[in-house]
Structure 1
Amino acid sequence: MKHITAALLLFSMLASLASCQGSSGTATNDTSADDTSSEEKYQDGLPEVDLGGEKFTILIRSEFDYEFIPEDTAEVVDNAIYQRELAIEERFNAAIEFMPTSGNWTNKDNFKKHIESSVLSGT
């Protein structure tokens, strides 16, 4: 049994070594790659909808307000987040407004009350 296991182990090692072997031909460095870097947009499957300039207010936790950037900044990541939100506003003809509220664990009750009052008031 030990001989069979050793033979299988040897065979698998030789097979992996053989797969690493390069071709016997000469290598060519072709740096003239086709310039097909046309950027394809990801299809999200959402229909094209015109919301008529409707304003959407999103309640966010003030501890995580870095995920929602209300203005263009010099930071690369912040700018990408801002551009994402701007693209959504333009695509759906809507305005997005963020309402930061303290929502960490110690303020969870106030956060819940804020949500409940917003829902009940229809805002």
Structure 2
Amino acid sequence: MSSGPDPVAGEVVRAEDGAGPLLRFSGRIDREAVRRFRVLVTPADWPDRADLSAVTAIDAAGLQLLVHLSRKPLRRGQRLRLLAVPAALQPALVRAGLSRLLTGDAVAPAGAPADPDRPAPG
């Protein structure tokens, strides 16, 4: 019997930081996480930044959500900005044709999975 929500269950929520609105992704971004997001956040409220620092895995539904999220700012001549993409997720984004979303802002924060192309400190 479970005493609470699954700790690795994915979540996408609208949030704010010092630079304004963004989406915070966490856990396993799968079909169920995407479904919950679409029920709770209407497309009119989709910001053009997404923080992926706490994502542990992403499936085809999660990748498809990123494609949909990227279309809104594109209509304004802008791009969806992915923030702090863990190194482990970057190959999936590239394979899905989303590498254009990987910018300098997408550097994973301290404590995130290490970049295999960067030497370890020390």
TM-score of the superposed pair, with normalisation by structure 1: 0.24
Bigger fraction of residues in strand: 2
TM-score, normalization: structure 2? 0.24
Larger helix percent: 1
